[in-house]
Amino acid sequence: MFSIEVKDNGVQAALNQLAGRVNNMQPVLQSIGEDIQARAKARFGTSTGPDGVRWKANARSTIEAFIGKRGGFGKRGINAKGQALAISKKPLIGHSRDLAREFHVNADANSVTIGNTMKYAAMQQFGGAKSKFPNLWGDIPARPFLPITQGGDLYPEERSRIIETINEYLAGK
């Protein structure tokens, strides 16, 4: 067996830097979480899921409830304000816009959590049937905004972005 021991200060410094990066992944995990959060927030503006598929349109009952709460009905039915509200109503965008704003990212040396504080976020992400959730006024179609499938897998494009970010981090970029 033949071996050579290298005692190059530059190589040692680079290896020590790499070891330090691997021992504390918090910076790259925080960056990954913030990137996922930014893309999730952007999906509310385009009404498009992480797979590129447009979200299913709002049900008529949802639009009517939306405009009714905002004075969109007059004596003869939907008034001009109601028509404007109905045209502007996007899926998952309510009056408060809280679902699109209430994200949080928390990273430590080993993991990252991206969440939403709205208690109905999971229902909007994965959908739900009135038969399973009697409190719903109807079936809720899945409108994914986070890059996770029903089975817990990442969408391929998101997986590629995460791997690219990790590789750049390890390379010191």
On the question of pLDDT at 3 being above 60, the answer is: no
On the question of pLDDT at 124 being above 90, the answer is: yes
- Pick the more confident residue, 95 or 116: 116
Q: What end-to-end distance do the CA atoms of the chain give, in Å?
A: 37
Q: What is the pLDDT of residue 4?
A: 60
Closest CA to 43 of 173, 130, 151, 158: 158
pLDDT tens digits, one per residue of 10-63? 767 877 777 777 888 899 999 999 999 999 999 999 999 999 999 998 888 887
Average pLDDT rounded to a whole number, residues 75-86: 77
Average pLDDT rounded to a whole number, residues 102-131: 92
pLDDT tens digits, one per residue of 127-167? 999 898 888 878 899 999 999 888 888 999 999 999 999 88
Q: What is the pLDDT of residue 32?
A: 94
